[in-house]
Amino acid sequence: MKFKIPIERTLKSLLAQEDTDGDKKITIEDNGPKSFTITSGEALCVIEGTYHLSNLLQELVIARNKGETELEITKSIIEELPTIRVSRMIRDYYWNGLTRTMGANGIERLIADTKNESLTAERLPVYVPFYDELAFDYYKKLEGELLIETVKLPKEITPEYVKSINKKPGVLSLKLEEVNGEIQAVPFVVPGGRFNEMYGWDSYFEAIGLLIDGKVHLAKGMADNFQYEIKHYGKILNANRSYYLTRTQPPFYTSLIREVYEVTKDKAWLKSHLKTAIKEYETVWMVEGKRETRNGLNRYLAEGIGIPPECEEGHFDAVMIPCAEKLGLTMNEYERKYVNGEVSNHYLDTYFIHDRSVRESGHDTSYRIDGNCADLNLVELNAFLYKYETDFAELISEEFNNSFEGMTSDFWEEKAHNRKELINTYLWNGEANCYFDYNWITYEQVPFVSATSLIPLWCNLASEEQAQALVKNILPLLLENGGIAGCTKESRGEISKERPQRQWDYPNGWAPHQMMIWKGLLNYGFKDEAQEVIYRWLYMITKNAVDYNGTIPEKYDVVEATHKVFAEYGNVGVDFEYITSEGFGWMNASYQYGISLLSAALLERLNNLDSPEKVF
């Protein structure tokens, strides 16, 4: 039966009765009666329970946002099964809320971004590559409509130049194309919340969910924007902000183009992107003395100079105050002199190289790589590059008749074989049955058990024996109530005022780790283990969404299986009223991916909200 109810009156009554803490949400923390009666003509309908009441609230607001004054709805929608509802909201609502372009509308949104609060100029700088005349002319014309300033970048973008514009931060142009005589900006999906730019590795994991949901044009658009960044900025950027020009992100480009191609079968598109991916591999990752180390393995090395300007005020006080005190200066005086080059400090210079490299790794921050990131051959980075090499080999063999740009699949298979040998020599520890990061400066492995220790399963790098050992010995150490923790509690170490919690460490869990580990377990035939890990993660997301008005945030505490995470930057995606319009990018994707992999029997138990303790 359908009910037609007035939106504003019902919304006001519902919140007055059920939203007892006044946050414009209905959650388990509200103390209302949890029973609300709606009337439609002579018919009555009683809505009971936090989940159903919050669903009613959301549907009222969705209709209001469309300009409607009445909501026509069935009780079956209000009582929709949790997994169906969460998945439907992601597919039909959240992806739209996260879609952006660098066209006029997207630029207008970026002008209002809170990250521009430090901007001293009246207009937001839009930095355009030296050779992109189309973009330069496009943004120049927009200057009459929007508060932007179009700035042409130099031919060569050096760390010194990037430092020189840190006081004038702005956004970087992405791909524009001419369609039927009109300039259109290629779309992309953002993480959400305070992140309004296209981010590096976020984009790949978001694309997994987008492809599942049939939004191929968005996944393809992000690959096209990656190609633009490599062509014009020399790398896939941390994000399209000016202060990220010296910083890349974990390499997932080949995975993205392969998965898009599997849907589109556009060989001309694949050929173009494969050529660009090989260029990125050679010019970003395989430059000796930079991101390639002397042992033949790779590291992260963000090449910026000094303090990362995107960090919040006071973020580096702990390392800078002792330096200031030695010179009898206040913290602010010392920071100004250091930034302007009036005082030198080799310790800080080195510290900021490592700090920027942590951010390039995407794992910002973790005690696994704190203070030494650029000195480490990280397990996951070398696994990712092994996958690049095997992707190149397989694509050239399967799609290009074993010849591409003068290279054969054998050429890339040999590179992958050599990397695997080096990984087994330097990163595999047979006694611990684990992959560990390797410090190429001190010639030592770093015995830190992390979710990244399992990433070699994702790219089919481990032998069958190594896979068995990892699943038997390491997976149980990381498995918690809500899925895989960023690391073990033992590896993280004790937390104190002087040694605060880092967001990528225990007890927190992150979507990209889960997604890669699921696929890795399935690669090696560990179906039961994969189903359990997937169920735990989806249960945590679903239960929190049911209890907290549909909340799907950036990260979770997987030990307590809650979105209430208190570490460093807070938890993006929890600050909303009535309804979240976005969720969070890779969290959305992990949900859609997990649902696609979970068995029908476990999906039924998930809809019943059976806890993992009851299921396994």
Q: What is the pLDDT of residues 256-310, one digit of tens each?
A: 999 999 999 999 999 999 999 999 999 999 999 999 999 999 999 999 999 998 8
Least confident of 300-309, 390-399, 415-424: 300-309
Compute CA distances 538 → 28, 87, 504, 597, 612, whole Å: 19, 11, 19, 11, 10
Q: What is the distance between the alpha carbons of residues 252 and 205, in angstroms, rounded to a whole number?
A: 9
| Per-residue pLDDT tens over the stretch 100-155 | 999 998 898 888 776 666 555 689 999 999 999 999 999 999 999 999 999 999 99
Catalytic residue among 335, 355, 554, 582: 554
Catalytic residue among 197, 303, 364, 380: 364
Q: What is the distance between the alpha carbons of residues 441 and 445, in angstroms, rounded to a whole number?
A: 11
Q: What is the distance between the alpha carbons of residues 172 and 353, in angstroms, rounded to a whole number?
A: 23
> So what's the pLDDT on residue 112?
78
Residue 144 CB neighbours (<10 A): 7
Mean pLDDT, range 462-473, rounded to an integer = 98
Mean pLDDT, range 467-492, rounded to an integer = 98
pLDDT surpassing 70 at residue 585: yes
In this structure, are residues 323 and 334 in contact, taking their beta carbons and an 8 Å threshold? yes
Amino acid at 374: A
Mean pLDDT, range 524-534, rounded to an integer = 98
pLDDT surpassing 60 at residue 443: yes
> So what's the pLDDT on residue 120?
55
| Per-residue pLDDT tens over the stretch 161-207 | 999 999 899 999 999 999 999 999 999 999 998 888 999 999 999 99
Q: Name the one residue in this structure whose structure tokens are 């760390």.
A: 159
Q: What's the mean per-residue pLDDT of the chain?
A: 95
Q: Name the one residue in this structure whose structure tokens are 């990752």.
A: 285
- Measured N-to-C along each axis, helices 527-547 and 50-65 cross at an angle, to the nearest 10 degrees, of 70
Looking at 415-566, which runs of residues are DSSP E strands? 428-429, 434-435, 437-439, 444-446, 479-480, 483-484, 508-509, 556-557
pLDDT category of residue 569 using cuts at 50, 70 and 90: confident
Write down the H helix ranges in 234-266.
Answer: 253-264
Active site annotation includes 554: yes
Q: What is the distance between the alpha carbons of residues 145 and 285, in angstroms, rounded to a whole number?
A: 41
Question: Based on the number of CB atoms within 10 Å of its own CB, is 17 exposed (0-12), middle (13-18) or buried (19 or more)?
Answer: middle
In this structure, are residues 142 and 181 in contact, taking their beta carbons and an 8 Å threshold? no
Residue-wise over 29-54: b if at least 16 C-beta within 10 A, else e? ebebebebebebeeeebebeebbbbb
The two beta strands, 556-557 and 508-509, are: antiparallel
The total number of residues shown for the chain amounts to: 616
Those residues with Cβ within 8 angstroms of residue 544's Cβ, 6 or more apart along the chain or in another chain: 551, 552, 556, 561, 562, 563
pTM over 0.95: yes
> So what's the pLDDT on residue 121?
63
Which phi and psi (to 5°) does residue 131 adopt?
-95, 5
Those residues with Cβ within 8 angstroms of residue 478's Cβ, 6 or more apart along the chain or in another chain: 449, 451, 454, 484, 485, 487, 488
The domain locations on the chain are: 2-80, 317-375, 483-615
Q: What is the distance between the alpha carbons of residues 113 and 124, in angstroms, rounded to a whole number?
A: 10
pLDDT category of residue 73 using cuts at 50, 70 and 90: very high
pLDDT category of residue 246 using cuts at 50, 70 and 90: very high
Those residues with Cβ within 8 angstroms of residue 213's Cβ, 6 or more apart along the chain or in another chain: 90, 91, 95, 592
pLDDT-above-90 percentage for the chain? 90
pLDDT surpassing 80 at residue 572: yes
Mean pLDDT, range 564-590, rounded to an integer = 90
In this structure, are residues 509 and 486 in contact, taking their beta carbons and an 8 Å threshold? yes
In this structure, are residues 384 and 299 in contact, taking their beta carbons and an 8 Å threshold? no
Structure tokens at 511: 């979507």
Residue 250 CB neighbours (<10 A): 19
Measured in whole angstroms, the distance separating CA 432 from the mean position of its chain's CA atoms is 30
Mean pLDDT, range 355-366, rounded to an integer = 97
Active site annotation includes 389: no
pLDDT category of residue 364 using cuts at 50, 70 and 90: very high
